[in-house]
Amino acid sequence: MELKGIQLTWLGHATFRIETPAGKTIYIDPWVMGNPMCPSAEKKVRKVDVMLCTHGHGDHIGDAVEIATKHKPTLVAIPEMCHWLEKKGVANTSMMNKGGTQTVGDIKVTMVHADHSCGIQDGDQMVYGGEACGYVVEFSNGVKIYHAGDTNVFGDMAIIHDLYAPDIAMLPIGDHFTMSPREAAYACRLLKVKTVVPMHFGTFPVLTGTPSQLRDLIPEFEVVEMTPGQTIS
In this chain, which of 49, 59, 138, 175 binds Mn ion, going by CB under 5 A? 59
Give the one residue of 49, 80, 138, 150 binding Mn ion; rule: CB under 5 A: 150
Report the C-alpha gap between 181 and 5 in whole angstroms. 30
Minimum distance, C-beta of residue 14 to Mn ion, in the bound complex (Å): 6
Of Mn ion, Ni ion, none, which one does residue 215 interact with (CB within 5 to 8 Å by kind)? none
Angle at 220 between CA 214 and CA 222, to 5 degrees: 65
Cβ–Cβ under 8 Å, residues 76 and 94: yes
**Calpha distance 112→26 (Å, rounded):** 18
For residue 40, the 8-state DSSP code is G
Q: Does 200 bind Ni ion (CB under 5 A)?
A: no
Binding to Ni ion by residue 131, rule CB under 5 A? no
Neighbours of 226 (CB within 10 A): 20
Q: Smaller CB distance to Ni ion: residue 19 or 29?
A: 29
DSSP letter at 20? -
By CB under 5 A, residue 150 contacts Ni ion: yes
Residue 29 makes contact with Ni ion by CB under 5 A: no
Question: Applying CB under 5 A, which part among 24-32, 54-62, 81-89, 153-161 lies near Mn ion?
Answer: 54-62
Separation of alpha carbons 31 and 88, rounded Å = 17
Residue 63 interacting partner from Ni ion, Mn ion, none (CB closer than 5 to 8 Å by kind) = none
29 interacts with Mn ion by CB under 5 A: no
Amino acid at 159: I
- Does 63 bind Mn ion (CB under 5 A)? Our answer is no
Q: Which of 17, 57, 147, 200 binds Ni ion (CB under 5 A)?
A: 57
Q: Are 186 and 169 in contact (CB under 8 A)?
A: no
**Binding region for Mn ion (CB under 5 A):** 57, 59, 150
